[in-house]
Structure 1
């Protein structure tokens, strides 16, 4: 990811120098494939130098000091990089939206019925997501130690471990114990206040001096024993008031509650004090208020909630074991994000000490493996859709879960980010818990992480194995079948993936050309052409660039000559229909040199007989040009389809184009996309020929255009061979 970012920045700087520097730029916009510069002096452009850049497909000088640079599908990213350069900012160039702002806008469009619930999950997710790396690192250390423990090489739970293993414990406990401080920092930043103030408030009740009060030796501190949990509860007299003392290590619910209140206090203080003294007084007074509030009220509230939950579960297991076996795996997905599951660990240990066995860990395993199953479903989808970052995340989280019994990497790194996962995971939890309850329950005589390595400690083992397999498989299948992204999110993710892949292909093609393998595509793209804008799916121009390279090298099945040699479609082929009635022609007969060169993929042109533009295939509309002249479709089966109505019709600014669909909308073949006033197009002096291409031609075995002939909307225009 960093390499791509650095490369884009370098291209941005080179392009800005090539057009004469920021002082020569009057304005900069972009269409779907080109940067559009309005310059002060067009003579200052180093066109030869720009054409030589690996990220530039061609340049198109125009009248009136206007200048176009053909980038392809990565144009939006390059445009943003240029606009974000300090030199452009100094010259008053408008700053585009950041990635975070764009994502926030997308999330706002997909919000559910209850906005407060969406905000709540976003608060949780953004408070934990930055911790993904350290959580995963800690969990993998635990997984290694668990393997050694299962093999009998070390007693991972012994109280008299050697200094070596005490140190190993410190390596992972550093993350889990101080998690409240980290969460407080992230939560504060999420609510747009000073993160260090949030961290400092939480750290105040985790210092050695505070923890030292728990031994009961300090004057003014009294301790009592909780008979159910077998733990001590200490009360200290502070300022003459009773303050419940707790060890907040690993507590997450407390910092989340605390920061929510801190944000109100902090922002209230900002309104009171002038900006020039806020640095001194706002953090000071916020800490002065919130540290006592946390120690006296919020902290004990979180602990009381956890302890009360533990007592209730003990009663429930004794009176309604079947309900208990189902309830535990259904509750855990909501307890873990809030940190309320930690008190249950004390109850598990108390059960082992008092009864000789524990009844919580068995049904809890159903939740864990449903969680891991959902992660496995995400991993399979990431492989299917070639999502490298998610594949890496899911692989690490799944390994930490299956071998270490750690659900946090899956939960915080994946599940809380995508709301579609939770309902499907809960079905797996329910099924696994139901198996445990119906088969008589599962006990264990030791405290263990519920992983593959600890299966032998559960009794009866067969019941436990059946339960976790059922939970795992059901959650995995449901996530895989229905996807963890909405159709709109999937279209966006696939488009981003294709852009990245196309950028890589573009680099490879440039290196090949430098080595002496002529592809001819740069010359085609650089040929002077009228001003035009092309709607794309992902990175069509760049993908088409790669397709042209393969085509020039003799890729099988690509009808380069434009003879229209498409044959009967096979069962695995993708059929792309004509989007409009009229006369089908080959791309070689189209006057636009970029389309004719196949730089935007193989396809056909249709001289339209009417203005009804139809969807050429089933899929999702990833791009709908605001001017209504172009549509990018992610067709079922993986083909990207570009429908471009007319040549240079972007200049009509939507006049005569009645768009009937929206970006992100799912369509079926034959659905009406737009109604175009062809007479208005001709009156404006533009050609009406409608272009239909497959920008990711290079990813298929062949893309075959139909023979030139009269067609009606829905007739086969292109056959994509897999």
Structure 2
């Protein structure tokens, strides 16, 4: 069977979103391709969802469109960007005033477009940092493990230079996070990202932070005797400026860049294009650095502390409620990308309180999610579901080792509605245990995986909670199944038929095979009808001349698309065709490469590689002509296609000229297959085998 290459997937995704001319920009995160399209309505969501390698799609307001790929997203992104048609990275075009106004109006098409934009801003400011945040969290986990085993005391004041250096390896990410966030936020708002980074860096230099608590002239420091805290104020240009350490802050850069974007774009309208490179960054820095130091910085600190204090109050006064609410919220926030504000609060808590109390309950959600995936994996092994076993194995590895839930969510959970309720029970159990045991804290920002368990305190409470969440979800999914009884019976029947056909034990028609078991190029042609068709079974469909069919019933004759020897599908060396997963029909060992239309109708599909054609007749009969086996891998070499999709054809019209010698030289079978895709809708499909025919001679009779 044919396996689609990553390049083929990239091309099909590109077609699915409306082609390169419909793409304004493309980025990716840990699991998703993120398109900004010129016209979101041109994206073919159904076709994209059907592709092998695509876990799901998420249309958004403002012509944004997400395609969930999973762990292979970086490779798919690279393949798309390396396609010749994407050499420009997208197709921004000059717009008239009317078009600009229309675009602004269009961005409000979603009911809550402003909310969408807000969360997109937050998400895109953090998403590119996933890799370094994950790297830092693993370094913290290793350090905590060494600390737990008594190798070194990481909290000691007199640590050696070696361990101080190890500290710097993970603290670098958290301390300089504001600069990184400022860079990403500025890029998201389409201004110079280095200006955003520079403005944030100005209030993090040793010159600035060195004034805190110092005796520098103009700096006064006061101490709050009650709280035991101190506050430094510098008098700059005669104005009081509160001094803060902005390391690890995230609200400050988010607020700052939002205002910087207005200033930057305003300055671009003021200065002529030929001097913008000098004066726009200069005046942006001149305006925004003081604005950040005097106003935005203190406001951001206040906002972050306020939100953290509010959640801390809830955690302190109603810990059980807090511990239950957090894991029950995350399953609905993560698929929409709305979990980033809570992640930002975790960083604020660590920076201001020295610890975070959100990640502990959040771990209950993550492990409930991974437990549900484990339940699916066990069922896929039990029921011999190869595709689901592969999907679940990859998703579970990404979760348990990396703490990433998207492959589980998009690859499995959101596809089967029975999983979510069972997973939520696991979230509830884990959160309840965290609350009853008094909460779980951590002094580090860590992705909740098996490797980061040591960073949570008390660790034993955390282990109990996440274990309960994991095994509760796993047991509920495993014992009640993620499919209904009817779905399970159908899928198992299809599996048995496919396995028997692969072993050569079945020549009779099989039941419908799920789309994911059909080779991708055939699946594209199956779109001619509703789905891969089951055959009707019985002697008539197996080749008898109308046994059991009233003689008066007139049939539709399908002609041979090529001259040659007609054989039954059971003799074909391809288990999908041999099992009749693509309908009843015939194979023809061709005498020449002259391929013609077997019936009057419309060409619904013409494979770009020229190896397959889909035709629909006026009465709805759907016919597939497939030239050779695995010939899609020839990428069109030796195939001279003479028609295009959408054209009306008559029996005998030339479809393609094929160099059979080139096909054989490439090591592929030349047998040409013709099947009725919607065989299940017919009274009978009668192949006439064991004869030598010329192109155009009748070889299949279809009766309704």
Q: Please say if 1:221 is aligned against 2:219.
A: yes
Matches within 5 A, 1:551-630: 563-566=567-570, 576-578=581-583, 584-588=585-589, 610-613=618-621
Q: Is the 8 A contact 1:184 1:195 kept in 2?
A: yes
Matches within 5 A, 1:475-624: 536=521, 563-566=567-570, 576-578=581-583, 584-588=585-589, 610-613=618-621
| Cross-structure match for 2:180 | 182
Matches within 5 A, 1:64-83: 81-82=83-84
Partner SS, residue 152 of structure 2: coil
Matches within 5 A, 1:288-307: 288-307=286-305
| Cross-structure match for 2:169 | 171
Q: Is the 8 A contact 1:270 1:278 kept in 2?
A: yes
Matches within 5 A, 1:308-347: 308-327=306-325, 329=327, 334=339, 339-345=344-350
| Cross-structure match for 1:654 | 646
TM-score normalised according to structure 2 size: 0.51
1:315 deviates by 3.4
Q: Please say if 1:367 is aligned against 2:377.
A: no
Q: Is the 8 A contact 1:262 1:290 kept in 2?
A: yes
* Among candidates 257, 260, 263, match of residue 261 of structure 2: 263
- Rounded Cα–Cα distance in structure 1 between residues aligned with 2:300 and 2:126: 18
Q: Is the 8 A contact 2:202 2:289 kept in 1?
A: yes
When structure 1 is superposed on structure 2, of 233-242 and 372-381 the one drifting more is: 372-381
* Among candidates 274, 277, 282, match of residue 276 of structure 1: 274
1:650 deviates by 3.7
> What are the superposed Cα offsets for residues 172-192 of structure 1, whole Å, 9 maximum, x if unpaired?
211221111122112222222
| Cross-structure match for 1:243 | 241
Change (3 A) 1:578 1:537: closer
Q: Is the 8 A contact 2:175 2:248 kept in 1?
A: yes
> What are the superposed Cα offsets for residues 389-418 of structure 1, whole Å, 9 maximum, x if unpaired?
9999985775355xxxxxxxx489999999
Q: Is the 8 A contact 2:566 2:588 kept in 1?
A: yes
- Rounded Cα–Cα distance in structure 2 between residues aligned with 1:267 and 1:387: 51
| Cross-structure match for 1:682 | 650
- Rounded Cα–Cα distance in structure 2 between residues aligned with 1:186 and 1:255: 10
| Cross-structure match for 2:151 | 153
Q: Is the 8 A contact 1:562 1:588 kept in 2?
A: yes
Q: Is the 8 A contact 2:249 2:351 kept in 1?
A: no
- Rounded Cα–Cα distance in structure 1 between residues aligned with 2:251 and 2:407: 18
Change (3 A) 1:197 1:124: same
Change (3 A) 1:574 1:220: farther
| Cross-structure match for 1:431 | 428
Q: Please say if 1:194 is aligned against 2:192.
A: yes
> What are the superposed Cα offsets for residues 293-320 of structure 1, whole Å, 9 maximum, x if unpaired?
2222222222112222333344334433
Partner SS, residue 345 of structure 2: coil
Q: Is the 8 A contact 2:140 2:170 kept in 1?
A: yes
1:163 deviates by 0.8
> What are the superposed Cα offsets for residues 148-206 of structure 1, whole Å, 9 maximum, x if unpaired?
11211011222221111011111221122111112211222222211110110010110
| Cross-structure match for 1:124 | 122
- Rounded Cα–Cα distance in structure 2 between residues aligned with 1:413 and 1:213: 47
> What are the superposed Cα offsets for residues 48-89 of structure 1, whole Å, 9 maximum, x if unpaired?
xxxxxxxxxxxxxxxxxxxxxxxxxx9x9799755678xxxx
- Rounded Cα–Cα distance in structure 1 between residues aligned with 2:579 and 2:82: 35
Aligned length: 474
- Rounded Cα–Cα distance in structure 1 between residues aligned with 2:229 and 2:169: 26
Q: Is the 8 A contact 2:364 2:430 kept in 1?
A: no
> What are the superposed Cα offsets for residues 263-298 of structure 1, whole Å, 9 maximum, x if unpaired?
221111111111100011100111111112222222
1:239 deviates by 2.7
- Rounded Cα–Cα distance in structure 2 between residues aligned with 1:138 and 1:709: 53
Partner SS, residue 566 of structure 1: helix
- Rounded Cα–Cα distance in structure 2 between residues aligned with 1:474 and 1:112: 38
Partner SS, residue 469 of structure 1: helix
> What are the superposed Cα offsets for residues 577-612 of structure 1, whole Å, 9 maximum, x if unpaired?
449xxxx4424369766899xx99999999976441
Change (3 A) 1:411 1:188: farther
| Cross-structure match for 2:401 | 399
- Rounded Cα–Cα distance in structure 1 between residues aligned with 2:188 and 2:409: 19
Partner SS, residue 159 of structure 1: coil
- Rounded Cα–Cα distance in structure 2 between residues aligned with 1:330 and 1:132: 23
- Rounded Cα–Cα distance in structure 2 between residues aligned with 1:588 and 1:126: 56
| Root-mean-square deviation (Å) | 6.3
Change (3 A) 1:232 1:610: same
- Ranges in structure 2 where 5+ consecutive residues have no aligned partner: 11-20, 22-75, 93-102, 334-338, 378-384, 484-519, 526-563, 598-606, 627-631, 634-639, 657-670, 688-704
Partner SS, residue 242 of structure 2: strand
Change (3 A) 1:136 1:126: same
Change (3 A) 1:172 1:710: closer
- Rounded Cα–Cα distance in structure 2 between residues aligned with 1:172 and 1:709: 58
Q: Is the 8 A contact 1:129 1:412 kept in 2?
A: no
- Rounded Cα–Cα distance in structure 2 between residues aligned with 1:436 and 1:148: 27
When structure 1 is superposed on structure 2, of 286-295 and 433-442 the one drifting more is: 433-442
Change (3 A) 1:467 1:595: farther
Q: Is the 8 A contact 1:184 1:256 kept in 2?
A: yes
